[in-house]
């Protein structure tokens, strides 16, 4: 399965620490999200989608269209 969380971060040239700071968690916890060691909660999934301005469905690989439908 694709890891869109990691791909988005790398595509935007952010470090794990930078994204962790943006969403209010530790770098270690963010690392667990990227590796799949810990499941993304609804709260952090929403925060990550907001940081990148993409849909949650895109992050979850339910669509290849990153645009947020409003």
pLDDT digits (tens, 9 = 90+) for 24-66: 999 999 999 999 899 999 999 999 999 999 999 999 999 999 9
Q: Domains in the chain, ordered, with CATH?
A: 4-59 (1.10.260.40)
If you search the block for the tokens 């895109």, which residue do you land on? 58
Which of the two residues, 4 and 1, has the higher pLDDT score?
4
Average of per-residue pLDDT across 9-28: 97
- DSSP, collapsed to helix, strand or coil, labels residue 65 as coil
Answer yes or no: is pLDDT of 1 > 50: no
Produce one character per residue of 1-40: b if its CB has 16 or more CB atoms within 10 Å, e if not. Answer: eeebbbebbeeeebebeebbeebebeeeebbebbeeeeeb
Give 30-39 pLDDT, tens digit per residue. 999 999 899 9
């Amino acid at each position: 399965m694709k890891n869109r969380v990691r791909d988005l971060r790398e595509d935007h040239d952010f470090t794990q620490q930078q994204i962790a700071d943006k969403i209010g968690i530790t770098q270690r916890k963010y690392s667990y999200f990227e590796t799949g060691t810990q499941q993304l909660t609804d709260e952090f999934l929403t925060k990550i989608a907001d940081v990148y301005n993409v849909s949650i469905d895109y992050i979850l690989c339910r669509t290849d269209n990153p645009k947020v439908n409003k």
